[in-house]
């Protein structure tokens, strides 16, 4: 009996061809990079052909890979059409979303309208917590899907968007020249707080905490009002009230990555539909 091509293997193969990288493909199919590599190896064994060529410039398809890509697209489209005809691609039921506290307003303003339009029969429940708390809630099943800040040990998470962290000071004044440096601190268990402390330690700057809050908006307001300098996400900065700190030397520029995680038993189709809504909302927000 001739072998049958697995659609999951083909879906991964197509994603590798589209992204040109195993890591990026892994993010899109909710698997580790090692698992994606094993799937490609399995597909090569099934077809009896080398499908990819790797070099310092990335990944490119072999002639056999190009041939398989054309058939893969057709087979995945047929599968998609069949499932759509049977289910009308509509998700029904309740899903609990976990949202980082500081992104709650963006979630309500940009994501919820997209969700209501794309998945009108989905009953959404929303919980706002810190990323590290949301990770625990996803693990214990009290939250189905969550947006979380990427950590060093993050694996098999879908990347959604990124944002720079910027040391900022009020437009007027020279607080960065003060000794000790007046700093507004984020007091919750969060990667922003970790980076802030690490920068202070690396730069060996004498400082004092003059304001602390578990809400980043409050920390931003402390900067805007001329009370302190602080490390803040770029989305919270108001150009007419804050400015980057020019003379404050730290360990370098920082970026936080926001990923989507979900419970292990959530169907892949549901993950993909919700991820599509997240990414559409992020694009709408950037316009």
Sole residue written with tokens 């998609």: 80
**pLDDT tens for residues 119-133?**
788 888 999 998 889
Distance, CA of 163 to CA of 236 (rounded, Å): 11
Whether 159 contacts 29, CB under 8 Å: no
Whether 202 contacts 278, CB under 8 Å: no
Residues 6+ apart with CB under 8 A from 67: none
Closest CA to 24 of 209, 158, 207: 158
Domains of the chain: 7-87 (1.10.10.10), 93-155+258-286 (3.40.190.10), 163-256 (3.40.190.10)
Q: Nearest 5°: CA angle at 151, between 23 and 254?
A: 90
Distance, CA of 136 to CA of 138 (rounded, Å): 5
DSSP β-bridge partners for residue 212: 185
* DSSP code, position 231: E
Whether 159 contacts 101, CB under 8 Å: no
pLDDT score at 250: 54
Closest CA to 83 of 266, 212, 268: 268
**pLDDT tens for residues 176-190?**
888 898 999 887 777
* DSSP code, position 101: G
- How much is the average pLDDT of 49-67? 86
pLDDT score at 90: 55
Whether 258 contacts 102, CB under 8 Å: no
Distance, CA of 120 to CA of 105 (rounded, Å): 21
The DSSP code sequence of 192-208 is: HHHHHHHHHHHHT--EE
Residues 6+ apart with CB under 8 A from 119: 90, 91, 273, 274, 277
Tokens of 108: 């309500």
| pTM of the predicted structure, to 2 decimals | 0.62
Tokens of 260: 């989507």
Share of the chain above pLDDT 90, in %: 15
DSSP β-bridge partners for residue 33: none
Whether 26 contacts 32, CB under 8 Å: yes
Tokens of 129: 């917590």
Which of the four pLDDT bands, split at 50, 70 and 90, describes residue 252? low
pLDDT above 90: residue 98: yes
Distance, CA of 74 to CA of 76 (rounded, Å): 6
Tokens of 25: 């493909």
pLDDT above 60: residue 142: yes
Tokens of 135: 């990770």
pLDDT score at 92: 66
């Amino acid at each position: 009996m001739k072998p049958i091509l697995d659609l999951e293997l083909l879906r991964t193969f197509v994603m590798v061809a589209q992204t040109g990288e195993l890591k990026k493909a892994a993010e899109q199919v909710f698997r580790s990079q090692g698992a994606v590599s094993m799937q490609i190896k399995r597909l090569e064994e099934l077809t009896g052909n080398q499908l990819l060529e790797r070099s310092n410039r990335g990944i490119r398809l072999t002639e056999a890979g190009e041939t398989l890509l054309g058939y893969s697209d057709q087979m995945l489209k047929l599968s998609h059409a069949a499932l759509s005809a049977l289910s009308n691609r509509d998700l029904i039921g309740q899903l609990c979303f976990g949202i980082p506290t500081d992104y709650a307003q963006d979630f309500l303003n940009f994501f919820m309208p997209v969700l209501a339009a794309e998945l009108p029969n989905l009953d959404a429940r929303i919980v706002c917590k810190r990323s590290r708390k949301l990770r625990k809630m996803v693990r214990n099943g009290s939250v189905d899907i969550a947006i979380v800040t990427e950590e060093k040990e993050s694996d098999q998470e879908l990347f959604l968007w990124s944002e720079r962290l910027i040391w900022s000071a009020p437009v007027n004044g020279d607080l960065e020249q003060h000794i000790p440096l007046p700093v507004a601190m984020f007091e919750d268990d969060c990667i922003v707080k970790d980076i802030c402390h690490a920068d202070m330690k690396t730069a060996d700057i004498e400082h004092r905490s003059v304001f602390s809050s578990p809400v980043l908006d409050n920390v931003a307001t402390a900067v805007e009002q001329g009370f302190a300098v602080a490390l803040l996400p770029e989305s919270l900065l108001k150009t007419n009230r804050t400015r980057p700190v020019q003379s404050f030397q730290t360990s370098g520029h920082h970026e936080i990555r926001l990923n989507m995680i979900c419970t292990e038993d959530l169907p892949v189709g549901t993950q993909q539909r919700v991820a599509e809504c997240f990414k559409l909302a992020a694009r709408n927000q950037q316009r």
